[in-house]
Amino acid sequence: MKIICVGRNYRKHAEELGNAVPGEPVIFMKPDSAILRQRDAFYIPDFSNDVHHEAEIVVKLNRLGKRIQSKFAPKYYAEFTLGIDFTARDVQSKLKAKGLPWEKAKAFDSSAVCGNWLKTEDYDLSNLKFELHKNGELVQQGNTADMLFSVDQLIEHCSDYFTLKIGDQIFTGTPEGVGPVSSGDVLEGFVEGKKVLNVRVK
């Protein structure tokens, strides 16, 4: 399986990092070794002093597909959750300054977190509220209605370039409010008020 991630899919997040608002999805990848097993702690890697949380909705593909039109995209997924794209911001900044790829900052071990999976039939993915709390305080909140590119549009775009396979995950982008994590932090994620994610940082 592969993890496809979308950058700058919320206008305010792009602006808070000083990035241009994209005209088409910004895509990068994580390997399957980036997945943090549920109930495992997240350990800050020793090569970074500035790891940030980026909370985002994640969909899981359940069919094989290529060149999928957005109107047919809902047939290709039935589950979603809230995830965290951990980012070594200091490493990313150095790479971006040199015009280099982001993988060292984005695709390192355990950098992709997924909460408990929910059934899409029980929710409206086009208008979905989600939150991330750090140590009991709200740090990020978003609504999929504010995404520049919807889940179905992302599936159409990604499937033009990559064959989508069963079990593949798409991290759909983070809203504003990203920030650093420290050893001892507890991160909790909520979808429409339902807690789906809990991660301890070490």
Structure-token pair, residue 189? 């994620």
Domains of the chain: 3-200 (3.90.850.10)
Cα separation of 156 and 71, whole Å?
9
Tens-place pLDDT, residues 65-120: 999 999 999 999 999 999 999 999 999 999 999 999 999 999 999 999 999 999 99
Position 14 pLDDT exceeds 70: no
**In contact, 181 and 200? CB cutoff 8 Å:** no
Do β-strands 3-7 and 169-171 pair in parallel, antiparallel, or remain unpaired?
parallel
Cα separation of 86 and 112, whole Å?
6
Cα separation of 103 and 143, whole Å?
27
Residue the block writes with tokens 């794209």: 85
Do β-strands 87-88 and 112-114 pair in parallel, antiparallel, or remain unpaired?
unpaired
Tens-place pLDDT, residues 163-181: 999 999 999 999 999 999 9
The Cβ of residue 177 has, within 10 Å, a number of other Cβ atoms equal to 20
Q: What is the pTM of this model?
A: 0.95
